[in-house]
Amino acid sequence: MILIADGGSTKADWIALNNNKKEVFRATTLGINPSVLTKEEITDKISCSKELLHIKNDVLQVYFYGAGCGSPIASKNLQEVLEITFTNARVIVSEDTLGAVYASSGTKPSIVCILGTGSNSCYFDGKTMITSAPSLGYTIMDEASGNYFGKQLLCDFYYNKMPKKIASAFQASFDLDTDTVKMNLYRKPNPNMYLASFAKFMFKYKDKKYIRKIIKKGFQDFFYYRILPFQKDSNTPIYFIGSIAYYFKDILEKVASKNNLVVTDIIQRPIEKLVDFHRNNKV
């Protein structure tokens, strides 16, 4: 049995294939990002899935593509947890950008971007991924990601820069007690997920001028730092993966056009196409 996983910070999708590459089952667990989770926390998240534990002895190969797996230490920690869980399996852990490449362009040259809880991009030349810069995560990078927008919303609310009607709705939607916010940011696990949870607010109000302005700026920052440095022309396919790109598709495409580029495709959840890639290609 082959187990394929697309692991984000918020959730992880798992699909198992039998020897004939037919789907056996699928499951969704809480997010697994080894750069912000301990080995014990990763183990707990996997152990909560009865489906995964039920088939663990039958799995012979695990392909995990995940956020935070670009760090060698983090990747090694996750691999060790998976090897302990799936004792009969050969485990391969790769960063989520490679999974995004396989799910979008396959083996063809392209620029592939992720806009989810976090963000990243790469140029894939058909064999190798090339990045514009190392990814240093949610505290200083992750432009146009869920946590980037969540941070912006919080700042604007507390600085009184948010329009009154939107601020009132924002306050009604979340517990904005300062002690609660600081506890989640500095004491509790997964502060990146906590910040990204505020970004969901934008989906409901995306037609408001204030929200659209924030989104446009975030997307332009992403193009400036994560796409334009590749210096590719408009004929280079550009793919986006993730809910932020998917739900704000119209704004994303306008920002791309202003940069003389065209978005080739936007995929909300890459797991289906990632599984198709494994069905048709030897990895």
150-172 mean pLDDT: 97
| pLDDT tier, 233 (very low <50, low <70, confident <90, very high otherwise) | confident
Terminal alpha carbon distance of the chain: 15
272-278 mean pLDDT: 94
Structural domain contains residue 258:
no
Write down the pLDDT at residue 42: 94
Q: Does residue 240 register a pLDDT over 90?
A: yes
| Half-sphere exposure of residue 244: CA atoms within 13 angstroms, side-chain side | 29
Structural domain contains residue 90:
yes
Structural domain contains residue 179:
no
Q: Does residue 234 register a pLDDT over 90?
A: no
Structural domain contains residue 59:
yes
Distance of CA 91 to the CA centre of its chain: 21
pLDDT digits (tens, 9 = 90+) for 186-230: 999 889 999 999 999 999 999 999 999 999 999 999 999 999 999
| pLDDT tier, 283 (very low <50, low <70, confident <90, very high otherwise) | confident
Write down the pLDDT at residue 282: 80
Overall number of domains in the chain: 1
Structure tokens at 212: 């659209």
CATH code of 51's domain: 3.30.420.40
Write down the pLDDT at residue 9: 85
Write down the pLDDT at residue 7: 92
Structural domain contains residue 161:
no
Q: Give the strand pairing for 238-241 and 110-115.
A: parallel
Range of the domain at 11: 2-100+271-280
What gap in Å lies between CA 198 and CA 58, rounded to an integer?
39
Write down the pLDDT at residue 70: 86
Structural domain contains residue 173:
no
Structural domain contains residue 165:
no
pLDDT digits (tens, 9 = 90+) for 126-139: 999 999 888 888 88
Structural domain contains residue 180:
no
